[in-house]
Amino acid sequence: MIAEEGGRQGIAFVQAPEMSSGVCTGKDAATAFDCAKKQCVDGGGTDEDCLEQAYCFPARFSVDVVMQSSEGPHWHEYYCGWDTKELALAAAKIACDNIKRPYLIECTPVLIYDEDGRSEEVEMDN
């Protein structure tokens, strides 16, 4: 399995809550996090506030979920390394369980990332 994954990349997520974020793929965690942190800083976060949030190797499919507490602050949580888009969205659904997390007034998957770091918006169920 390792030989098959030789050409694969990992994906890193960096976030400065309420300010900025960054997402990059790379051959290793340090490369991917460095790139994502630069995106975060370039987007308006500070070097100190742009924190490493999540990393998965191989990247596979990832989902970005925006959350807001009843106390006001909002943030993103990232769930990565899923074999399919459907599994990534299932992880988001579990993360947004309002029985387990009743303090959330918003919890919505917003972006799906593929193994190459390309994103697409999540279609909302109406």
pLDDT of residue 1: 36
Report the distance separating Cα 4 and Cα 89, nearest Å.
26
Closest of 121, 9, 110 to residue 57, by C-alpha: 9
pLDDT of residue 126: 41
Query: Is the model's pLDDT at 3 over the cut of 50?
Result: no
Global pTM reads 0.87
Buried b (16+ CB within 10 A) or exposed e, 91-103: bbeebbeeeeeee
Query: Is the model's pLDDT at 81 over the cut of 90?
Result: yes
Report the distance separating Cα 82 and Cα 5, nearest Å.
15
Mean pLDDT, range 93-98, rounded to an integer:
95
**pLDDT tens track for 34-48:** 999 999 999 999 999
Task: Identify whether the C-beta of residue 91 lies closer than 8 Å to the C-beta of residue 80.
Answer: no
- For residue 5, name the pLDDT band (cuts at 50, 70, 90): low
pLDDT of residue 4: 46
How far does Cα 6 stand from its chain's mean position? 23
Element (H, E) at 34: helix 29-42
Specify the higher pLDDT residue, 81 or 4. 81
Tell me the residue length of the chain: 126
**pLDDT tens track for 39-76:** 999 999 999 999 999 999 999 999 999 999 999 888 89
Q: Phi and psi at residue 71, in whole multiples of 5°?
A: -85, -5
